[in-house]
Amino acid sequence: MTVPSTPPNQGGRDYGLIDVTLRDAHQCLWSTRMTTPMMTPILSRIDAVGYSFVNILGGAVFDVQVRFLQENPWQRVGILCEHLKTPCDGLTRGQSLYTFELFADDVVALNSKVLARRGLSVLTVYDALNDMRNIESSLRSGHAEGMRVNAMMVYALSPVHDDAYFIARTRELVALRADFISIKDPTGLLTPERAETLFPAVAAAADGIPLQLHTHCQSALAPLVHEVAMKSGFRYGHTAVEPLANGASLPAAEEIDDRARALGFRTGIDRRALADVNGYFAMLAEREDKPRGEVATYDPALYEHQVPGGMISNLRSQLAAMRLEDRMPEILEETARVRKDLGYPILVSPFAQYIVTQSVLNVVQGERYKTIPDEVRKYAMGFYGRLAAPPSAEFLAKAKIDPRDVSTTRPGDSIPPALPALRKRLGPGASDEDLLLAAFYEPALLEPLRAPMPACRFETTPAMELVRYIESRRDIRQARVRFAGAEITLTA
């Protein structure tokens, strides 16, 4: 799959849409449980919509495929890239790739090689600390394999995350020769007012590199933020199809298209094709008993704790299992305090999990930092990368950390090459894809991936999906369908 050599808005009034339905949308609303056979029937209609890119891969998607869906993630990438004419985009977590562990540079480079070989056109990469040293290997290897690289910086609110901070990060990405620069707002914290100052500043610092906006709908303000992005010269916006949009997900393509048209911008999407895609995923949600996205209500508390919606729902269920659900407000308040104590880490994986875990421990144990998980201690020591601000004296004292011992080394420089040992262990017959999976996971998790993937269909019609839905319902013994003057009866 080749990427267009010129950005789509040479006229200055285009705002291309990047679809995230096959990645982030179901990650947010369906716990990342969309299988490959659920995706393939509608690929031709997704192509017809006219998206600039289709995002098909991410850290959680890769991990859930292995751990829960028991699908080979490389096969999905290959299938989708082969059958989609629209260029495909895949996201990794920098030096961590798909998990919470840091990997050697040779593993990062081999990952880029495998993705390019499978047909990926754009490699999207971010680091949860915005330490751009952690994405250098991905940029270098992605370019070496012929992919364009979309480098993200993650948005957050704190006294240190001001315009100057993001201008500095943007200039670092310019120096790394990123092909695209994105603002990633995983919790939906951006407001139109904040964007009015931030977006023009980033655009000026980007030196002509095309800008993308990725913002979630947890505050219900994302569509308004997209309007500011368009006016500020951003080239692309990330959206989802309507049944999997809104809430903790991203805005619906229709809404962003409507707002773009009202402002005189072109998205290039075909609304009839988009309606077909919406209809398919609406039927899929019904058949698989999955939730549809709903527009969120504005919650001022979001701007204090900054915890992503999916994590809040997981935390609530875990607290309920421990009969501690009444402590939820207290834990969210503590999350804001812990984040301040730790130098304002951005609440995105894996640090969102670390901060929330520390907050739960502080509240449940009745003493702040009585227990400090190893991962939190390693974060404060600079093991994962450069912190936005120094941790508080209280935390450092409780953790018994001397600030002089905090690492300033690029994390990847401390990790020895991993591939020679993997090749020796797996033998000469191991493929590059096998080597990578062995680097990421224990053998027991990989054994189920040897089974063939279930058969995939590559076409569909509303009638076909209706029949499949009726077949999936055990409470329906007989159904009568009338269409275009004809009537058929289906019997179980």
pLDDT in the model for residue 349: 83
Residue carrying structure tokens 């629209």: 86
pLDDT in the model for residue 4: 38
pLDDT in the model for residue 485: 62
Q: What angle do CA 304, 307, 312 make, to 5 degrees?
A: 125
Q: Going along 7-160, which residue ranges are E strands?
A: 16-19, 53-57, 88-92, 122-125, 148-154
How far CA 28 is from CA of 137, 298, 311, 472, in Å, comes to 28, 18, 9, 24
pLDDT in the model for residue 266: 97
Cα–Cα distance for residue pair 330/339, rounded to 1 Å: 14
Chain Cα centroid distance, residue 394 = 34
Please check whether residue 290 is in contact with residue 35, taking contact to mean a CB–CB distance below 8 angstroms: no
Q: What is the largest CA-CA distance in the chain?
A: 80
Tokens of 224: 């308004």
pLDDT in the model for residue 323: 87
Three-class SS string for 411-452?
HHHHCCCCHHHHHHHHCCCCCHHHHHHHHHCCHHHHHHHHCC
Cα–Cα distance for residue pair 199/205, rounded to 1 Å: 10
pLDDT in the model for residue 6: 35
pLDDT in the model for residue 11: 46
pTM summary value: 0.91
Bond into 428 cis (ω within 30): no
Cα–Cα distance for residue pair 412/428, rounded to 1 Å: 26
pLDDT in the model for residue 463: 67
With H, G, I as helix, E, B as strand and everything else as coil, classify residue 391: coil
**Which residues of the chain are modeled with pLDDT < 50?**
1-11
Count of Cβ atoms closer than 10 Å to residue 413 Cβ: 8
The closest of 364, 290, 299, 294 to 330, measured between CA atoms, is: 364
Residue carrying structure tokens 């990847």: 412
The closest of 356, 385, 18, 28 to 186, measured between CA atoms, is: 28
